[in-house]
Structure 1
C-alpha cells in the first residue's frame, strides 16, 4: 500500500469565505487586502487572478490591474472561525493532522489501508457540505508528492499520485516545482541546462550535494518522488512577529516607538498565552525606497515580558541611521523556549 498522506488546501480561502458570506460576490474578481493604497493583497478569487492579481501584490498595483475588482478588508476572526470548523472535520478522520497554515494541512491516512482514497474524498465532500468551502486534495505516498498533487488540479481538485506513477508525473514538470527551489536555485539549475525535473537525473547524489550543498541531497530525493518527512502534529513555533505598513512615511522616532510599544504588547500577550519565552528581539524597518534593514539582540535570559521586549526594541530603533523616512516597521522575537506544561493551540505562530 503506497498511499499514505493527504495534503489539503482551501481554494482562495479568504476570498472564498467572503463569497460564502455574501453570495453576490461569486463569480466576481474579489480581492482581499489591507486598507488604503499601501496594503498588500492577502488573497484573491480566480476571477481576479485572470487580470494578473496575486497574493502579496501591493494593493495599488492590484487596483491598476483590476480597477473593477471588489476590494474587501480582511476579517481575521471570521477566517479563524471557518478554519477551526474545517480542521475539526479533518480530526474526525485522523488525529494525525499537521497544520501548515490557517487554510492548509497534511494528514496521515495510512490507517485506512486500501480505503485511503475513499476517505480523502469523504473529507473533501464533508468540508464542502458543512462549511461551504471547496478544498483541493492530493493523496500520495509522502508529503512532497501529496502537496504536488493538490497543486496540480486547482480549484476544487482531487489528485492521486501512486508510488509507481511518481517519476512519470515529475519528469516533465519545471524544476521550480521541487520543494525548496526558489529563484536563485532555479537560476543555477537553468545555468546547468536543467529546466525540467528529468534534467536533474543526469546527476548522481554526490554531484547534487557538490552543486547545491546539503540541500542537494534533499533535491536528489524529491526529484525521484522520495520524501521521508513525517507528520508533525505539534509544530513548535520558532518565532512570532508583528509589522505594519504605515499610512505615510515618517522618521519621527516617537511615532515609531509607539508602534513598537503596540507590537510588544501583542507579542508579549502571544508568548504569555502559549507559555513561550523568547530570547532574541528583532526590529525591522523598510524605508521609502523599499530598502529593508534590521537590528537584533539576544538577551541574557528568556522573557515573555512585554516591557522588556519594548525597551529592547526601543534600544534597537535608536541604532538605525534614519537617512530616509520609514514606510514599514516590525518587531519580532525568536529563539523561543516552550514551557513544558503548556498545550499548543492550532494558531501558534500567527498574529493577525
Structure 2
C-alpha cells in the first residue's frame, strides 16, 4: 500500500532539562557538585529517579535499581527528592516558555514541546528562539537545558538528545528523512525495548528497515501504532503541540530477563512499578481511582485485571495494594510471566498530592 503524506512545515522546539532533579540538588548544595549523585532510593532499596552526569559515567541511570547503581558506583551519593522545589523551578521555566508562545505541551516537570511557528516575539528562526530560551533558563535558575529544533515533534525530541548536555541541534525538512533512515529503531522515541525486540524479529533494526515495510504490514503487526511508525520512518509526524493535552493514564511495565512463575517473586516486581507510577503522580499533583494490572505470558498472550475505588489513591501503598490483589486473581499463572505492568487511570487533580501526603519517591516517567 502506497500512501502519500502531506504535512505542514512547522517550527517545533523540544526543551529538555539536563539531569534535572540531580542538577537542582547540586545547585542547592555546593558539596554535591562534581560528585556522582542519585536522586531517590537508597543504597539498599528503591530505584534511581535521576543521576548526575558524574554518576552516568559509571553506567548509573534513571529507573536503575539502587542496589545496582551502588554496585556500579561505590561512591554514589543518594539524595531524597524534593518535589516542591522541582515544581517551583519547573514553573519558572514554563513562565519563560510563555514569553514566546502559548502553544506549550509539557511532558513532565523537565521537558516540553513548543510550537514557535508563529511566536509572540515575531522571531523567524527557531534555533535563535531556542538559544534565547536556554540562556534565560540558565539566568533564572542556574540550570542547563538542551533543545531540539525540527519541523515535527518526533524529530524535535530526537534532536534534543544529539548535543546533550547544554547543547542544541536542528533537523531540517531536507535532512529529516535521511536522519531517520540511519537511526537504530531502538533509539526512536516511542519505541520501547519490547517493541524494538518485536521489530527485530521482523528484520527491522533501522529507520531504513522500518521504511521498507508497508502501512498494511505495520498495522497488522503493531496495531494502532502502525500508522505512526509508517510516518516517522519517513520523517513525518502530524501530531500537533497540544497545550490542553490531558493524560488519561499513568503506567509502568517491565519485561523480565527470565520469565517468572513464582507468586512471591512477581509480587516483589510489582513494587518498583507501583513506585514509578506514583512518582509521576506525586510530581504532577494527580491521582487516580482505577488500578489496572497487565500480565503478559511467555507465549505473548496477556491478561488484564482492574479495580476501581470510590476515592483516588492517596499514596503508593494504595496503588501497590490494588495491584497485589489483582495479581492473586491470575495465580496460579497459566504460563510463566514475561512482563508485568501497573497503570493508574480515572485521573484527577488531587490537592493532597501536593503537600504532606507526597511520598518521598523519585521517578519521573
TM-score, with structure 1 as normaliser: 0.72
Counterpart CA distance in 2 for 1:44 and 1:297 is: 34
2:51 to 36, 44, 66: 44
Write the distance in 2 (CA, Å) between the matches of 1:171 and 1:147.
16
1:334 and 2:345 matched:
yes
Contact 1:3 1:139 in 2 (8 A): no
Task: Choose from 142, 145, 156 the match for 1:135.
Answer: 145
Inter-partner Cα distance in structure 2 for 1:165 and 1:138: 14
Quote the residue 1:326 is aligned against: none
Q: Is the 8 A contact 2:307 2:326 kept in 1?
A: no
1:121, distance to aligned residue in structure 2 (A): 1.1
1:169 aligns with 2:167: no
> How many angstroms does 1:55 deviate by?
0.7
Cα 1:304/1:78, change in 2 over 3 Å = closer
Residue matched to 1:79: 86
CA separation of 1:316 and 1:44: change in aligned 2, threshold 3 A? closer
Alpha-carbon distance in structure 2 between the residues aligned to 1:208 and 1:294: 24
Confirm or deny: 8 A CA contact 1:3 1:162 kept in the other structure: no
Deviations 1:137-159 (A, max 9, x none): 00111110100100111111211
Which is further off, 232-241 or 220-229?
232-241
Matched-pair contact (CA < 8 Å) for 2:291–2:322: no
Is residue 187 of structure 2 the alignment partner of residue 180 of structure 1?
Answer: no
CA distance 1:314–1:100, shift in 2 (3 Å): closer
1:52-97 deviation line (CA, Å, top 9, x unaligned)? 1111111111111101122222122111121111111111211111
For the structure 1 residues 214 and 29, does the alpha-carbon distance in structure 2 shift closer, same or farther, using more than 3 Å as the test?
A: same
Counterpart for residue 22 of structure 1: 29
CA distances 1:206-227 after superposition (whole Å, capped 9, x unpaired): 2322332331211010111111
Structure 2 vs 1, CA of residues 335 and 164 (structure 1 numbering), >3 Å: closer, same or farther?
A: same
Distance 1:68 1:198, change over 3 A: same
1:94 maps onto 2:101 in alignment: yes
Task: Please show how residues 50-61 of structure 1 align to structure 2 within 5 Å.
Answer: 50-61=57-68
Alignment gaps of 5+ in structure 1: 242-250, 252-262, 285-292, 324-330
Q: Does the CA contact (< 8 Å) of 1:98 and 1:231 recur in 2?
A: yes
The superposition leaves residues 174-225 of structure 1 with CA deviations (integer Å, 9 ceiling, x where unpaired) of: 0122333222321232223322211222223223223323312110101111
Structure of higher CA gyration radius? 1
Give the equivalent residue in structure 1 for 2:248.
Answer: 238
2: CA distance between counterparts of 1:200 and 1:100? 26
Q: Return the structure number with greater relative CO, CA threshold 8 A, min gap 6.
A: 2
Report the counterpart of residue 197 of structure 1 in structure 2.
207
Aligned equivalent of 1:159, options 150, 153, 169? 169
CA drift of 1:104 comes to 0.7
Residues 1:332 and 1:190: Cα distance change in structure 2 (over 3 Å): closer
| 34, 39, 50: which one aligns with 1:32 | 39
Is structure 2 residue 16 aligned with structure 1 residue 9? yes
- Structure 1 residues 181 and 240: CA distance shift in structure 2, 3 A: closer
Of 43-52 and 32-41, more deviation after overlay is shown by 32-41
Measure how far apart 1:21 and its partner are. Answer: 1.0
Q: CA deviation at 1:304?
A: 5.7
Using the size of structure 2 for normalisation, the TM-score is: 0.70
**8 Å contact from structure 2 (residues 293, 343) kept in 1:** yes
Give the direction of change, closer, same or farther, for the CA distance of 1:332–1:28 in structure 2 (3 Å limit). Answer: same
Deviations 1:285-312 (A, max 9, x none): xxxxxxxx9963346xx75697xxx8xx
Where does structure 2 lack aligned partners over 5 or more consecutive residues?
1-7, 252-263, 265-274, 295-302, 333-341
> How many matched pairs?
300
Q: Once the 2 structures are TM-superposed, how far is the Cα of residue 171 of structure 1 from its aligned partner?
A: 1.9
2:259 matches 1:213: no
Contact 1:99 1:233 in 2 (8 A): yes
RMSD (Å) for aligned C-alpha atoms? 4.0
